[in-house]
Amino acid sequence: MKRPPEVLTHGPVTLRRWRAADTATVTDLVLRSQPHLRPWLAWAQDYGPQDAAQFTEQCEQDWNSGAAFSYAITSGGIAVGACGLMARIGPGGLEIGYWVDAAYLRQGLATAAAAALVEAAFALPGVDRVEIVHDEANVASGGVPRKLGFAEVERRPNAGPHTPGESGVDVVWRMTR
């Protein structure tokens, strides 16, 4: 199975594959970002070092199986967020997910990371579409696919679990090759 490169660069960001050895980095990054993440991400509610260890181990397993390709978003050599390509939208498709530490918002880092992921996804054999899904209340997340030229293709109920900031309606954006 072909995989994307372990390091991707686009504009102000370098993405590097998460490894099991990155547990402390993930812990620090998420705890620093937790107030910003809690309204949107259920997993961020009660996050701690054990969650980070499970996450980084799962990143290794997913990379090896091809289920997902998870990266640290770095800028200036500092981890400022996370992103990835996930094989959960059926054959020929990959979904992009991303988040950035609140201290680094509005700098184009999520957009640059997503652009790097789109390029990597379409370089893989058999991938003909990439999607980004976010809650409709998360307007900032919606700016990323809009800036990159994705088309909004659907709005659908999200079964949950719901977080305090969510409306419960997902917006699906798609780009095709």
CB atoms within 10 A of CB 15: 28
**What percent of the chain has a predicted confidence (pLDDT) above 90?**
94
CB atoms within 10 A of CB 81: 23
Mean pLDDT for 65-78 is 97
Q: What is the pTM of this model?
A: 0.95
Mean pLDDT for 78-94 is 97
The first and second tokens of residue 95, run together, are 């979904």
Please tell me the distance from the alpha carbon of residue 28 to that of residue 30, in angstroms, as a whole number.
6
pLDDT score recorded for residue 141: 95
The first and second tokens of residue 156, run together, are 């659908």
Residue 100 DSSP one-character state: E
Which of these, 10, 4, 1, 6, lies nearest to 109 by C-alpha position? 10
